[in-house]
Each structure stands twice: as C-alpha cells, then as structure tokens.
Structure 1
C-alpha cells in the first residue's frame, strides 16, 4: 500500500501538470539558448530593436536567468512537489511579463508566449480535483 504522501502527490500530478512541466521545460531550454545568443551578440535578433531593460546583453542575462528558473520549476513539477507548483507559477508569470516587454521586436511570438504562460499559470493555480 502506498503512503499517504505518495497518494497526495499522485492526486496532484495530472495531465495539466505534465503539460505545464513540459511547456516550462521547453520554454526554459529556449530561453537559455536565446539568452546565450543575446549575450554573445548573435546576428539573428531584430535590428534597431529597443529593449525596455538596458540593451541586448542585459536582456540576454535576464532571459538566461528566466530559463534557469523555468527549468528548475519543470524539474520540480515532474517530481510532484508543491514547490514546483509555486515555482512554476512564478516562472510563468515572469515569462509573461518578459514576453510583453519584448513585444516591440517580436509581436506574434511575444503574444503567443504570453498566452501560453497565462494557460500554465491558470492550470497550476487551480485547486486539485477532489473525488
């Protein structure tokens, strides 16, 4: 027979938690790659784009740190911990804000990331279903 803590964890981890974990993991990897590219002066970023936070290098560090937070949240969500839920909400919230800050350079991409972040926040903030 499984322990009470294991049963509670199994009740919390639903398909939406897995979805949120996968999406946070993908976003984390992409943000780490984009952060490294911005720090190393890659040429695929929009020319003459204005950034709210200083310049491209600073925005690269912000994106890299956000990616690390998202990867940590995804790993914790896969482990089924309550910490992952709150960390996922926090990381998705920062991702939503960050995507709106870069809307001038990449409008469609920014709105897509914003919408996905809001879905992740909603699903993680919902109370687990009680049977």
Structure 2
C-alpha cells in the first residue's frame, strides 16, 4: 500500500502540474479536468500511504481502512482509464491483490 500511495502521489503531482505526461483517449462520462484528477489522486495517495504505514505498525484500524481506501482507489483508477489506460488496469489488479492480502491476513492467529 505504501508503494501504491507513492504512485498515487506522483500521479497527482503530474496531473496538478498539467504535464504533457497524460493525453486523454476518447470521450468518457467522467469529465473532470486534469488538475481535478491530480488533486484527487494526490489526496487519496497520501491517505493510502499513511494507511500502509499504519498497517506495517500493526494497527487493526489500518487494515480495515486499507480495504476501504484500496477499493476507492480501484474505483478512481477505473474512472482514470481515459488518461492512463494501461497503468489504470495494472493499478486495479494490484488493488485486488492488496484487498485479498488484507482480508486473508492470519498474523493475529499465530500469536
């Protein structure tokens, strides 16, 4: 989650800077401009990063919040498909793995 959060922060900074990194592909229903998407990814990226740090610290609330934030991140990447289709698909797949890992954590049963 820490790595996904860092990537979200980098996506956000690139979007806010209105870089030439992103080119819109096609016309979709979700018509936010690039700066708005940048702020959304920056804020969610920071939240995911902090939650990942909490999970490494062994906080139970971090695990629950991590599942919710990862699901939100997956939805946002689905909506981000017109800007970065390949990366969005990879991010959604990584999100599925993160949710699976957080739901199947057996570390408390070993203690």
Does structure 1 conserve the Cα–Cα contact (< 8 Å) formed by 2:63 and 2:102? Answer: yes
In the TM superposition, residue 62 of structure 1 has moved relative to its aligned partner by 0.4
Superposition CA RMSD, Å:
1.9
Q: Which runs of 5+ in 2 are unaligned?
A: none
TM-score, normalised to structure 1, is 0.73
Relative distance call for 1:49 and 1:67 in structure 2 (3 A) is farther
Does structure 1 conserve the Cα–Cα contact (< 8 Å) formed by 2:16 and 2:34? Answer: yes
Q: Which runs of 5+ in 1 are unaligned?
A: 1-23
CA–CA distance in structure 2, aligned partners of residues 49 and 61 of structure 1? 22
Q: Secondary structure at the match of 1:72?
A: helix
Note if 1:33 corresponds to 2:10.
yes
Query: 4+ runs of 1 displaced by more than 3 Å?
Result: 47-51
Aligned residue in 2 for 1:65: 43
Aligned residue in 2 for 1:95: 73
- Partner of residue 123 from structure 1, selected from 84, 88, 101: 101
Q: Secondary structure at the match of 2:69?
A: helix
The number of equivalent residue pairs is 108
Larger radius of gyration: 1
Aligned residue in 2 for 1:3: none
TM-score, normalised to structure 2, is 0.85
1:47-75 CA deviation, whole Å, 9 max, x = no partner? 46657152111111100011011111111
